[in-house]
Amino acid sequence: MAANQIQIRDLGLQDYLSVWQQMRDYTESRTENTADQIWLVEHPPVFTQGRAGKPEHVLAPGEIPLVQTDRGGQVTYHGPGQLILYPLLDLKRLKLGIRPLVEALENAVVELLKGMNITAYGSKEAPGVYVDGKKIASIGLRIRKQCSYHGLSLNVRMDPEPFSRINPCGYKGLEVTQISTLCSDYQVDMIKRELVQNLAKGLGFDALIWELKPEWDRNKATIYS
């Protein structure tokens, strides 16, 4: 596969543990010729705790499972209505550092929201994307063999109640928000398309190859070129 192309997999609603294992397997088996990929997915309700996560930030998980995972960061929540983007990238081949990758993820969301007339911004102190001090997107990565997995979660239209059962990303009292609260006119397919486009361009890719083309892209080989 050419270095300027990236494969996109839209997996739909998938169990967190199985996708996590697939990401690890993909990363472990990579060679210098393995394609870079972006995975889009939603998960059933689950709390995930990062490698340095502190138990005091998990307040009252209740019936929602808590998974100790291998990404960076503290505890967060995933659930239906949250779009998750996992970048499986060869950072060495891309000549890309961790901080530039984080910034590319943040910028992809900021540009998406800008097109929806929502003013958002990233933070060097607490990676992620914020709107008026409320978190709308979280970032947690794992680097293995100079390759990335885990990634970005963007709140689109979900039940926010489970966030009250934790200190999101380890910050007591941190409020969260979502696209459906800030914008009444949006389409999930558009959000997926533009988020992926923004990230791919920010990383220097100039062609997207969809494993299964969405309805809005059935007759195109790539999203842009």
Residues annotated as part of the active site? 169
Stated as kind and residue range, the H or E segment containing 99 is: helix 98-114
| Euclidean distance between CA atoms 40 and 75, whole angstroms | 21
Could you tell me if residue 9 is left (phi over 0), alpha (psi between -120 and 50 degrees) or otherwise beta? beta
Give residue 116's identity as a one-letter amino acid code. M
Question: SS3 of 109, please?
Answer: helix
Residues contacting residue 129 through CB under 8 Å, at least 6 positions apart: 106, 109, 110, 113, 120, 121, 122, 135, 136, 137, 154
CA distances from 201 to 19, 60, 72, 77, 83 (A): 25, 40, 25, 28, 19
| Euclidean distance between CA atoms 109 and 16, whole angstroms | 22
| Helix (H), strand (E), coil (C) string for 135-196 | EEEEEEEEEECCEEEEEEEEECCCCCHHHHHECHHHCCCCCECCHHHHCCCCCHHHHHHHHH
Q: Which two tokens stand for residue 205?
A: 């890719």
